[in-house]
Homo-oligomer: A and B are copies of this chain.
Amino acid sequence: MSAKMKQLLVDVHTHIYLPRYAEVLRSRSNVPRIFRRPTVQGGTEERLLILDNEPSGGRPVGSQYWDRQEKLNFMDKHGIDVSIVSSANPWIDFLSPEEAALLATDLNNDLEAYCALGPSLKVDPTRQRLYGFGLLPLVPGIESSVLLKTVKQVAELPHLRGVIMGTVGIGRGLDDEALEPVWSAIADTGLVIFLHPHYGVDGKAFGEKNNGHVLPLALGFPFETTIAVTRLILSGVFDRHPTLRLLLAHSGGALAQLSSRLASCIAHDPVVADRLEHDARYYLGKIYYDAVAYGPEELSFVSEVISRSKGYASLKASAKDSAGHVNRTTGSKRMLFGTDHPFFPPLNETDKWKSVMENLEAIDGVHGWTEEDKEGVRGLNALELFDL
């Protein structure tokens, strides 16, 4: 592989509200919605409300959310060669089954066009700069056949390489038996599932102080992801679908830090332990993690926890069995750079986004990752996972 190829920077966590979707948000009077309000300067601005009880009248929203050129400008500013773009939360969760099925299909076609009609890579014109995660109409009451048809649609659209998914499934979470055919179909296609939070946890836990968006974003989002993937583990989805490829947003939230506690709680609860094939920590090595954790120690730790998973194939494993498995290189292979663009914009217009630089510095700062491991996290792992 040439030196040039090695230096590709690939962003696997980058969002869009496709123009068709933004129109839907503008037509709504409930969250999620886009509304227009006067500015102090005497003009008007569009603002986005996506969370319940969101403070400060939501956040400003503009062309960076829907315009392809803005995405490319952002990529160029940060040296990002390729982006795997996904619709931003809350996707189409709020629609009826009929509306959701229709809109998912249309948005998948829109995203295919968005990618296909975008530029190719200068250094390698056989590759595009934009690929995408499609959407499934995961809403209560949807027919399984419609979901499977949409999986097929996404798999056949050449620039879509996965599906982004929230945590509610068709209303009862991702540990719902009704989703079994969906996991099978996705595993068969090789599409990557990007699991992403939206709902957080019940906001009453965050109290009444004005802490802006900090608590729901910094804690609620990762907690939601952690619960969802833990429920997947407990339901045996990874035992039944060992080839499923799941990518977790925000480096898996708190999954890594709570995984030994999880294993211990399972071991003390025969109702759960008896139905799993492996120690909970084993499954963490079957999953992929974006590298959106903002600190090098966090990334180091996640890579350790992936690396140690081999030692936990047995339900009777103990900490001693992970000894010797804890290098950080093995784990690095399952971690992939991301930005969360266009969220977390800089407070002041500057050359580079702080949120992006933090994640790049974090990768660079991991002790125990070789330069090759870092190149993997920055791009090569994504090229391989998404078969780009």
Contacts and interface: CB of A to CB of B under 8 A. Distances in A.
Given A319-B295, A320-B361, A326-B297, A209 B231 contact: yes
Contacts of A207: 172-173, 175, 231
This chain: copies in complex: 2
Given A265-B217, A318-B361, A223 B260 contact: no
Contact of A358 (B175, B215, B300, B319): B319
A5 to B, nearest CB: 27
B293 A261 contact: yes
A189 B145 CA distance: 66
Contacts of A193: none
Interface residues of A, number: 80
A307 B257 CA distance: 17
Contacts of A234: 209, 211, 214-215
A365 B259 CA distance: 16
A170 to B, nearest CB: 13
A319 B365 contact: yes
A121 interface: no
Interface string A249-277: 01101101111111111111111100000
A260 B358 contact: yes
A358 B318 contact: yes
Interface in A322-343: 322-323, 326
A295 B320 CA distance: 10
A354 to B, nearest CB: 7
A323 B81 CA distance: 28
A116 to B, nearest CB: 33
Interface stretch (A36-44, A98-106, A197-205): A197-205
A219 B262 contact: yes
A264 B355 contact: yes
What is the predominant secondary structure among interface residues of chain A facing chain B?
helix
A281 B259 CA distance: 22
Contacts of A217: 265
A344 interface: yes
A258 B308 contact: no
B298 A260 contact: yes
A70 B222 CA distance: 40
A120 interface: no
Nearest to A340: B264
A219 B227 contact: yes
A230 B218 contact: yes
A226 interface: yes
Contact of A206 (B210, B227, B260): B227
Contacts of A347: 267-268, 270
Contact of A218 (B212, B262, B271, B326): B262
A261 B362 CA distance: 12
Contact of A297 (B251, B294, B322): B322
A103 to B, nearest CB: 26
Contacts of A230: 215, 218-219
A257 B260 contact: no
Interface string A295-322: 1111011001100100000000011101
A367 interface: yes
Interface in A161-185: 172-173, 175
A56 B270 CA distance: 12
